[in-house]
Amino acid sequence: MKKTMVDRLKTAIKRPPVITVLRLEGVISSQSAPLRGSVINMHLFEETLEQAFKPRRLVAVALQINSPGGSPVQSAMICRRIRALAAERGVPVFAFAEDVAASGGYMLALAADEIYADASSLIGSIGVITATFGFAGLLEKLGIERRLYTEGERKSLLDPFSPEREEDVARLKNIQKTLHEQFKSLVKERRGERLPTRRYRSVFNGDVFTAAKALDHGLIDGIGDLRTVLRERFGKDVDFRPLGRRRGWLQRRFGLQGADEGHWTEKMLFAAENRSLWARFGL
């Protein structure tokens, strides 16, 4: 059938489908960003998450994830919010891991219907970790007396300035076990039959995998980059729209927050803690 002038005009002005691209990079924490670097939490990204699902002609939302993990609460909150928005708009979500999507970072990826990674990405670390220090012996050598008063016999848990107690360790391990079971349940719910049951033990033992191993364990759906995968799925003319949380001039220029957002000492300590999380994966 011969096309009319109206048909040709409609074809000429036809606008491409839209995919919003949301970058989730940094340690997951309820605290503000440290000196250099960034953090991920619900407060910082709530508005951006809403914006990601608003465009007209939206066919998908892509998550670029580069995170060694952090707060399980913030990870779960963001994951749930993304799933709720995806259900409301009826659009699929795709996650693309960069250097690392581990622990809470992998929990963020579970918000997606499909997960992809670079061949060199590190994926997994499905477990719970608590790191602390003990200074009781040092205080004794320095002649410093620790005075700790509580109302409630179980108020103090693994105080770093007091000798470690077996009952405190047992309480902590019980909390960790509960959190681990919650994490495992989410992985099973979101990955479903893609997880080979014969590999459950290695999947949930806290190990971290390269992309090929993660694919073999059912933790991801493929190896590939965002633009290639999504253009193959939605067409070469797809309109990618990057989104990111707003940052002030100081942070854009120097990686700093405003002067009123926390003490420098706190920022330095927080930056050191974040650095240690990345270092666990050689990054």
What is the assigned CATH class of domain 16-125+207-279? alpha beta
More confident residue, 281 or 176: 176
Helix/strand/coil percentages in the chain, nearest 5: 45, 20, 40
Question: Rg of the chain's alpha carbons, rounded to an integer?
Answer: 23
**Helical segments of the chain, H only:** 5-13, 42-52, 72-89, 104-109, 136-142, 166-191, 200-203, 211-216, 226-234, 249-254, 264-279
pLDDT digits over 166-178, tens only? Answer: 777 787 777 878 8
User: What DSSP state is assigned to residue 15?
Assistant: P
**Start-end ranges of CATH 3.90.226.10 in the chain?**
16-125+207-279
> 276 CB contacts (<8 Å, ≥6 apart)?
131
More confident residue, 33 or 12: 33
**Looking at residues 193-218, what average pLDDT do you find?**
87
**For residues 202-215, b (16+ Cβ closer than 10 Å) or e, as one string?**
ebbeeebbbbebbb
Percent of the chain topping pLDDT 70? 70
**Looking at residues 196-206, what average pLDDT do you find?**
80
Nearest-10 crossing angle of helices 166-191, 72-89: 20
In the block, residue with structure tokens 């330095």: 268
The mean predicted confidence, pLDDT, of the chain is: 81
Strands 239-243 vs 18-25: parallel, antiparallel or unpaired: parallel
pLDDT digits over 37-92, tens only? Answer: 478 999 989 999 999 999 999 999 999 999 999 899 999 999 999 999 999 999 99
What per-residue confidence (pLDDT) applies to 268?
52
